[in-house]
Amino acid sequence: MKEKEGIVDCPQQQVILYVEKEDGKYEPLQTGSYLTKNFLDDYQLKRRHLEESLKQKVQRGEASPVYYYMVLEDLTISELSARAGIRKGKVKKHLEARHFNAIPQETLQVYSDVFNITIQDMLNLLVQCPDDTVDTKTNS
């Protein structure tokens, strides 16, 4: 890449590129990140839409908070199972809202540790739940 092509005005994130100078030598150039400048806003907007749609699924009783955080962390059932040390069949069951209130406190703590959140963060998704299908008192 030529030096002129490497210059990007993005003070939020700086990178070092090796570019070809006019004399033909390759040298480092500190410049802005092309990806941050051109795509970060789009990514953040899509992420907010994903979070909102997942939150609505949880609040409508179509998914559990475990599902919400699994999708946000971009984990598969197999990956979540391996990280949590819980068999895949059990993880699949925990992704459903109707089974969430039966998850033992210890298992909620394991999921919370995997997602690097508190149990309260997980339960807060249920606060605005329109019906009483989930009993949050048994899990706190």
Contact yes or no for 111/83 (Cβ under 8 A) = no
Do residue 115 and residue 59 come from a single domain? yes
Residue 72 maps to a domain: yes
Residue 37 maps to a domain: no
Residue 76 maps to a domain: yes
| Structural domain boundaries, residue 13 | 3-32
Residue 38 maps to a domain: no
Measured distance CA(109)–CA(89) in Å, rounded = 18
Backbone angles phi, psi at 18, to 5 degrees: -95, 120
Domain count within the chain:
2
Question: Across residues 129-133, what is the average pLDDT?
Answer: 45
Q: What is the pLDDT of residue 128?
A: 58
Do residue 134 and residue 95 come from a single domain? yes
Residue 26 maps to a domain: yes
Do residue 26 and residue 80 come from a single domain? no
Residue 39 maps to a domain: no
CA atoms within 13 A on the CB side of 52: 6
Do residue 26 and residue 87 come from a single domain? no
Percent of the chain with pLDDT over 70: 91
At 35, is the pLDDT very low, low, confident or very high (cuts 50, 70, 90)? confident
Measured distance CA(2)–CA(101) in Å, rounded = 59
Percent of the chain with pLDDT over 90: 73
Q: What is the pLDDT of residue 125?
A: 86
Q: What is the pLDDT of residue 38?
A: 87
pLDDT tens-digit profile of 38-80? Answer: 889 999 999 999 999 999 999 999 999 999 999 999 999 999 9
Do residue 21 and residue 80 come from a single domain? no
Residue 116 maps to a domain: yes
Do residue 50 and residue 113 come from a single domain? yes
pTM value is 0.72
